[in-house]
Amino acid sequence: MGPGPAAEFHARVRHALAAEAWIADGNFDGAVAETLLTRADLVVWLDLPLCVCLPRLVARSLRRAATGQELFAGNRETFGHLLARDSIPWSGPAHHHRDRRRWAARLVTARAAGTPPLRLDSSSAIAPALAARGLLPPTGGDT
């Protein structure tokens, strides 16, 4: 699901959530975020530090600019745009801190509603935490 008229996007989200099982991945806001949080059985918050996120943002933006990969609706990152103040590498740090505060507050509501968030704040914690909940396929020779 990508950008589009808000009413259409909200309808598509509600339709997707009507399925027996679903996974939402993104940094949603407003009514969509509230809808997702009220219907979720599990909320996983990847709250990685900026020193982890920023190099990944820069590398991903460079790769997208080099390959011409489409982001959405025909939009593409270019090397020239990477230097602009509204580019992902420049705006990433400001959004990172703002979004961390916003999600910390929002997840208090999820916790109060009976869906405690799983907050993972290091890359090394992600796979073990998900595996412990049976959310990753078995590894190794086990069948």
Per-residue pLDDT of the chain (143 residues; tens, 9 = 90+): 455 688 888 888 889 999 988 888 887 888 888 888 888 888 899 999 999 999 998 999 999 999 999 988 888 889 988 888 888 888 888 889 898 998 888 888 778 778 888 999 999 999 999 999 988 887 765 55
At 132 the pLDDT is: 92
Residue 121's pLDDT is: 93
pLDDT reported for residue 142? 55
Give the span between the Cα atoms of 9 and 1, in whole angstroms.
Answer: 8
Three-class SS state of 75: strand
Cβ–Cβ < 8 Å for 57, 92: yes
CA 14/CA 32 separation, integer angstroms: 9
pLDDT at 3: 54
| DSSP secondary structure letters along 36-68 | HHHH-S-EEEE---HHHHHHHHHHHHHHHHHHT
